[in-house]
């Protein structure tokens, strides 16, 4: 932990030296909630989000806040190790070309529904999931946009790795928006003028609480299945080009979710929004940007962070600011110098340029008490929307 703020109802514990004013105010809003437990934890990649900072962790005893999970429910990453220690650039290009043909990116979906066995089972009455289900069968196994990526990486363990970062697509967004609206209605019904609107919540025992928890968990499962399906398509692309390739060491970690856990001898609902669970010995992934290292880590189980760590490097500027301020030619030259098959083509791509992100090495240094680095991964080839 780098600093602690004790001016609010409960302390704010931060794993970074500076936090932008908007994100700091959001952290204070969390700390002043009557339902917030013990302290708020802010990870080193934190920046402003909706209601709660991205990179924030908070716990409650009996309530859940949709905006403390976020709009991309279940968003997370998975990694897979190959048995290759080197892949020639021409083979990488062929692999990436196949991936682009089989995995839609951005707003694109599959033209046809995917095999329904990939979809998580619906064993409860899920109003929004049921409404979006048919569309979701064409969205599963698609990458989406923003900071989502497919990356081929070389590890310090000597092996070539695959990493995927993706979420729950429109089904998660629709669930999040619907239940945030319902939580705002609950706030108004109880004439709650102290809770910020963007932090509206459901109390345990209410219908909204039960329904949101069920639909949130479905979206988390959907996001995992979507990553697994993309991994299958990526494995097929590798096999087409490198017939003797083998795969192992699959890791999956969500970073937008809420779950029951026990901390400080208390059963709690821990909300992680852009934060990764890092229990002692638990594997996780912390990516940088498409021009910098990513890391496979093991958690230290630090109770002050509610056993959490960062989910990435974190942004230094908004997407619009990056497009305005950064120079495409300079960013492309930087990537080319590193020999990375990258995704910077147009000015609109600058929102995902390495210069729009914090220095991942500094971020990792700030959380030495949260995780131990196991493998450092250098980007070789990247797909983004």
Residue matched to tokens 């979006």: 132
Token pair in block for residue 182: 């319902």
DSSP string, 10-65: S-EEESSS---HHHHHHHHHHHT-TTB-S-EEEEEEEE--SSS-EEEEEEESSEE-
How many whole angstroms separate alpha carbon 211 and alpha carbon 88?
50
CA 229, CA 30: separation in Å to the nearest integer? 36
For residues 346 and 320, is the Cβ–Cβ distance under 8 A? no
Residue whose pair of structure tokens reads 């990356």 in the numeric block: 151
Distance CA 55, CA 69 (A): 11
Full domain range(s) for residue 66: 3-316+357-383
In this structure, is residue 185 part of a structural domain?
yes
Token pair in block for residue 321: 């600011």
At 317 the pLDDT is: 87
What pLDDT band is residue 100 in, cutting at 50, 70 and 90? very high
Does some domain include residue 97? yes
Is 208 within a domain?
yes
**CA-to-CA dists, residue 328 to 244, 255, 292, 346, 349, angstroms:** 39, 30, 17, 7, 8
CA angle 288, 290, 295 (to 5 degrees): 35
User: Are 34 and 301 spatial neighbours (Cβ–Cβ below 8 Å)?
Assistant: no
The SS3 assignment for 292 reads: coil
Q: Is a pLDDT exceeding 90 seen at residue 385? A: no
- For residue 321, is it within any domain? no
pLDDT recorded at residue 102: 97
| 311 in active site | yes
**pLDDT per position as a tens digit, 192-247:** 889 999 999 999 999 999 999 999 999 999 999 999 999 999 999 999 999 999 99
Q: What is the mean pLDDT of the chain?
A: 96
- Domain contains 76: yes
- Tally of domains in the chain: 1
Q: Which helix (H) or strand (E) holds 134?
A: helix 127-139
pLDDT (mean) for 331-358: 88
Q: Give the residue carrying structure tokens 């089989």.
A: 102
Tallying the residues shown for the chain, one arrives at 385
Parallel, antiparallel, or unpaired for β 266-273 and 256-263?
antiparallel
Helix (H, G, I), strand (E, B) or coil at 252: strand
With respect to residue 326, please indicate whether it lies within any of the assigned structural domains. Answer: no
Whether residue 344 is predicted with pLDDT greater than 90 in this model: the reply is: no
The 10s digit of each residue's pLDDT in 241-273 is 999 999 999 999 999 999 999 999 999 999 999
Residue 214's beta-bridge partner residues?
Answer: none
Catalytic residue among 39, 148, 311, 342: 311
Torsion angle (degrees, nearest 10) of CA 296, 263, 223, 131:
-170
- Residue 349: inside a domain: no
Mean pLDDT computed over 298-311: 98
Please indicate, yes or no, if residue 336 is contained in any of the structural domains.
no
Average pLDDT estimate for 43-51: 95
**In 10 A of CB 157, how many CB atoms?**
14
Asked if 120 contacts 227 with a C-beta cutoff of 8 angstroms, the reply is no
CATH value at residue 145? 3.90.1860.10
pLDDT per residue over 356-378, tens digit each?
A: 999 999 999 999 999 999 999 99
Rounded to the nearest 5 percent, the helix, strand and coil shares of the chain are: 35, 25, 35
**How confident is residue 305, by pLDDT bands cut at 50, 70 and 90?**
very high
* CB-CB neighbours of 263 under 10 Å: 15
């Amino acid at each position: 932990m780098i600093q602690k703020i004790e001016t609010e109802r409960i302390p704010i514990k931060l794993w970074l030296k500076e936090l932008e004013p908007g994100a700091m105010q959001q952290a204070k809003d969390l700390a002043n909630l009557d339902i917030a437990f013990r302290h708020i934890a802010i990870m080193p990649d934190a920046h402003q989000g909706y209601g709660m900072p991205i990179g924030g962790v908070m716990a409650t005893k009996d309530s859940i806040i949709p905006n403390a999970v976020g709009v991309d429910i279940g968003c997370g990453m998975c990694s897979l190790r190959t048995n290759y220690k080197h892949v020639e650039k021409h083979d990488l290009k062929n692999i990436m070309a196949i991936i682009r043909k089989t995995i839609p990116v951005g707003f694109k979906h599959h033209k046809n529904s995917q095999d329904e066995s990939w979809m998580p089972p619906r064993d409860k009455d899920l109003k929004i999931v049921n409404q979006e289900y048919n569309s979701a069968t064409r969205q599963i196994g698609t990458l989406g946009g923003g900071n989502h990526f497919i990356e081929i990486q070389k590890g310090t363990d000597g092996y070539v790795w695959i990493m995927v970062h993706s979420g729950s697509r429109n089904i998660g967004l629709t669930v999040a928006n619907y239940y945030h609206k319902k939580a705002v209605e609950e706030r108004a019904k109880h004439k709650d003028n102290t809770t910020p609107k963007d932090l509206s919540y459901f109390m345990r025992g209410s219908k909204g609480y039960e329904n949101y928890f069920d639909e949130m968990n479905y979206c988390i499962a959907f996001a995992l299945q979507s990553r697994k399906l993309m991994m299958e398509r990526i494995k097929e692309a590798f096999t087409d080009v490198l017939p003797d390739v083998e795969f192992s060491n699959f890791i999956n970690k969500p970073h937008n979710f809420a779950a029951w856990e026990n901390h400080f001898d208390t059963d709690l609902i821990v909300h992680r929004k852009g934060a990764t669970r890092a229990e002692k010995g638990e594997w996780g992934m912390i990516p940088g940007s498409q021009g910098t290292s990513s890391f496979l880590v093991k958690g230290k189980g630090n109770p002050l962070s509610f056993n959490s760590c960062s989910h990435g490097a974190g942004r230094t500027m908004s997407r619009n600011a990056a497009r305005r301020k950064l120079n495409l030619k300079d960013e492309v030259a930087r990537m080319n110098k590193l020999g990375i098959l990258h995704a910077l083509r147009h000015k609109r791509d600058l929102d995902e340029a390495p210069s729009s992100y914090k220095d991942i090495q500094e971020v990792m240094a700030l959380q030495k008490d949260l995780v131990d680095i196991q493998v450092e991964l250098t980007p070789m080839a990247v797909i983004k929307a």
